[in-house]
Amino acid sequence: MNKTDVKMVLSELETFDTPDPELEQYPTPPTVAADMVNRLALDCDGDSVIDLGTGTGILAIGAALQGFSVTGYDIDASALSRATDNADHVKEQYPSIDVSFEHSPIDAITATADAVIMNPPFGIQQTDANTAFLSTAFETAPLVYALLHQSRSSPAETRKFIKEYALQHSFEARIVADYELDLPRSMAFHDNDQYTIRADLYRFTR
């Protein structure tokens, strides 16, 4: 399926009703999600994909639309319920897609796959939440696509840290895209109706 068609399907999915600020549940915009899964489809020769911190399932469903067998993991049962509803909705039009969801904390996942795709917590509310996801991803697959937040104060230092962290786990890190994410007001502490943040799409390979 081409990227435009994937974006159209993903734009119909429901997102969080009451996002949890501690889990940093910010939705992945459909345009970004479609680009991420398209890049994965062009890059990955395998069949199986794991989405860590799947939330309401947009990346997992997007990867399934590209022909992968996908499992999405999340610690939030309510988000997984929405992800399942989203998948059921998409299966009405595309019944052959292979996507399922599992309830699990990040440090309890032992499954392996050909690739990981994820938009993990940025690590602002809970320090090192993003590196915890990276550690699990590096144990899960030899190819990882991860959307990681740029620090506004020191983007160069953030990128240097991520690349060095990857090397410590025998992975090479390369930034393959740089997005501006337009996020609607979704948390009680937000003052503005919309926020724009920058994020890097990393391709990690072992």
pLDDT computed for residue 36 by the predictor: 98
For the chain, the structural domain boundaries read: 3-205
pLDDT computed for residue 127 by the predictor: 53
Q: How many residues can be counted in the chain? A: 206
Amino acid present at 182 = D
pLDDT computed for residue 121 by the predictor: 84
Q: Are 32 and 62 in contact (CB under 8 A)?
A: no
Backbone angles phi, psi at 20, to 5 degrees: -90, 115
CA-nearest of 129, 183, 134 to 16 is: 183
Backbone angles phi, psi at 144, to 5 degrees: -135, 130
Question: Using only C-alpha atoms, what is the Rg of the chain?
Answer: 16
| Domain over 3-205 is classified CATH 2.40.50.140 | no
Each residue's pLDDT expressed in tens, for the chain with a length of 206 residues? 999 999 999 999 998 777 666 666 678 999 999 999 999 999 999 999 999 999 999 999 999 999 999 999 999 999 999 999 999 999 999 999 999 999 999 999 999 999 999 999 865 555 567 899 999 999 999 999 999 987 666 788 889 999 999 999 999 999 999 998 876 655 454 455 567 788 999 999 99
